Amino acid sequence: MKTKLLKSILVTIGVLFAWFIIHTAIILIDGLNDELQPVDVAVVLGNKVELNGQPSERLQARLDKAVELYHEGYFPLIVVSGGIGIEGFDEAEVMKAYLVSKDVPEEHIIEDPNGYDSGMTAHNTKQMMDQRALDSVMVVTQYFHITRTKLAFKNEGVEDVYGAHARIFEWRDIYSTIREFPAYYKYLLNG
């Protein structure tokens, strides 16, 4: 009896591990393959602002990707979404200032100062899109974060959602990628 129970437990663990590996591979493939389509708006998800008020390296990489794609004509508007971090800075405000310094006209940038997580960003952006009769969006963030963020937008009723990843890779991406597994299913079940 104990052998049968142990075998069942090992099989269950093996299936869950295989599910985790396959799901993680899908997240990585999706996140690393940019879907460059002309869209109505891009949304750059916030991240840490340094104590000197400048975007962190991660946030700067996201913004640089948005600048590149904006200047290539993929979208006419950019939503910068973030909250006030523990450093005391409004991420959206810092992001907007950075984009303006990279020759993105101020009137083409929309601030979302209440994007404290991916779900809030999707909700807030969807409201902005509805006000402006916009239908399609490109998410700009780290590669491991794209799949879940696209799901958040689909949960809000946005059908045309694409993704482009920031060109930055860090050791902490391992932890962040692992974290995306339960986070994705949280968004899937709460959607």
Domain ranges of the chain: 2-190
pTM above 0.85, yes or no: yes
CA distances 120 to 1, 52, 91, 104, 187, Å, are: 49, 26, 14, 25, 12
For helices 118-131 and 146-155, give the axis angle rounded to 10 degrees: 50
For position 191, what pLDDT does the model report?
A: 67
Write the CATH number of the domain with boundaries 2-190. 3.40.50.620
Q: 65 in helix, strand or coil?
A: helix
User: Residue 52: which residues within 8 A CB-CB, separation 6 or more?
Assistant: none
For position 168, what pLDDT does the model report?
A: 93
Strands (E), the chain: 41-45, 77-81, 109-112, 136-141, 160-165
Mean per-residue pLDDT pooled into runs of 10, the chain (191 residues): 82 90 94 96 96 95 98 98 90 97 97 94 97 97 96 96 96 91 88 67
